[in-house]
């Protein structure tokens, strides 16, 4: 049985590479195995105001299309993980959402 292993860099990882202008290195390390979710893409989009190179990830699509979670049960679990594991609060539902979406 063969299967693919995907890597989900969160926004902090993306910023760390962007701030030393080495996103190309991250792309090389991932070798097409990198993916991101809509919340990570959204965070990266916000951060692109400070690190413009982050906008290139979406343009060049080397993390693929942002993965969207649409199943209500899965959304509920993500919300639980966001609060329980990452310390997010109910009144700031986007805080730590990307981390929660990519938590195994």
Partner 1 sequence: MPGETTKRIQQLITESTHTQTEFAAQAGLDASKFSKSMSGVRRFTSLDLARIAEVGGVTVDWLLGIDRPAPALAARARDAATSEQEAIAEAERLAQLWSDLAFLGHKQPQVAMDPVVQRGRFVDQGRRLAEVALRHAQKLDSEPWKARDLAPLVEDLFGIDVRIMRFAFGYEGLSWGDDTCKIMIVGTSEVPARQRFTIAHELGHLLAEDDQELHLDPNLSDAEHRKAPSEIRANAFATEFLLPQDVLREKARTMPWSDQSFAEVACDLWVSPVNLAWRLFNLKLISNEQCTRFRGMRAIDAAMLAGRMDTHWQWIAAAGQPRISVPLVRATFLAYQRGDTTLRPLANLLGLDTDFLRQAMDGAREESPLSS
Of 3, 31, 90, 104, which lies in the binding site for partner 1, with binding defined by CB under 8 A? 90
Closest to partner 1 by CB, 17 or 36: 36
| Alpha helix segments (H runs only) across the chain | 11-18, 23-30, 38-47, 55-60, 72-84, 97-101
Does position 91 interact with partner 1 (CB under 8 A)? The reply is: yes
Does position 42 interact with partner 1 (CB under 8 A)? The reply is: yes
Does position 16 interact with partner 1 (CB under 8 A)? The reply is: no
Torsion-angle region of 32 (φ positive above 0: left; ψ -120 to 50: alpha; else: beta): left
Chain residues binding partner 1 by CB under 8 A are 37-39, 42, 68-72, 74-76, 78-80, 83-87, 89-94, 96-97, 101
């Amino acid at each position: 049985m063969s299967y693919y292993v995907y890597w989900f860099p969160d926004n902090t990882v993306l910023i760390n590479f962007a701030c030393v202008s080495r996103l190309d290195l991250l792309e090389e390390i991932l070798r097409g195995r990198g993916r991101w979710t809509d919340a990570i893409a959204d965070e990266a989009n916000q951060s692109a105001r400070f690190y413009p190179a982050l906008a290139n990830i979406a343009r060049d699509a080397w993390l693929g299309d942002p993965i969207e979670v649409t199943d209500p049960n899965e959304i509920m679990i993500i919300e639980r993980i966001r609060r329980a594991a990452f310390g997010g609060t109910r009144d700031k539902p986007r805080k730590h959402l990307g981390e929660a979406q990519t938590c195994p």
